[in-house]
Amino acid sequence: MKPIALTSLLASALLALPAVGRDDDHDRAREALKAGQVMPLRTVLERLEREHPGQVLDIEIEEEHGRLVYEVKLLQSDGRLVKLELDARTATVLRRQERGRRD
């Protein structure tokens, strides 16, 4: 993955946290990382590359049912679009949706 893409993904993930203002989003993401509530995005992306190969199209972090969840969209080499929901603390896959490739 290109460094600029990783930076863009990180910015997207940080800005996706629900909050009143953008500054609050960044602060909340940083505090969640410091408190051990989320795994660092770099670690999550490295694990995804090994376990679910594909091009990361989008990544967001949201709160669902009282816990933080990374939502990741991947495009696999065969053209399938995969959406994963990962526990943000452990990177455990909570849900996987897959769409076949379009010809």
* CATH code for the domain in which residue 28 is found: 3.10.450.40
Domain of 38?
Answer: 3-99
Whether the per-residue pLDDT at 102 is higher than 60: the answer is no
Averaged confidence pLDDT in the chain: 79
Q: Which one, of 42, 39, 87, lies nearest residue 62 by Cα?
A: 87
The structural domain count of the chain equals 1
* Angle at alpha carbon of residue 69, lines to 33 and 92, rounded to 5°: 95
How many C-beta atoms surround the C-beta of residue 15 within 10 A? 14
Digit-coded pLDDT (tens) for 32-80: 889 988 898 889 889 989 999 999 999 888 888 888 898 999 999 999 9
* Angle at alpha carbon of residue 96, lines to 86 and 71, rounded to 5°: 40
Q: Which tokens go with 52?
A: 């679910």
Angstrom distance (rounded) from CA 55 to CA 23: 29
- At residue 83, the pLDDT reads 96
The model's pTM is: 0.69
14-31 average pLDDT score: 58
Phi-psi region of 36 (alpha: psi -120 to 50; beta: other; left: phi over 0): left
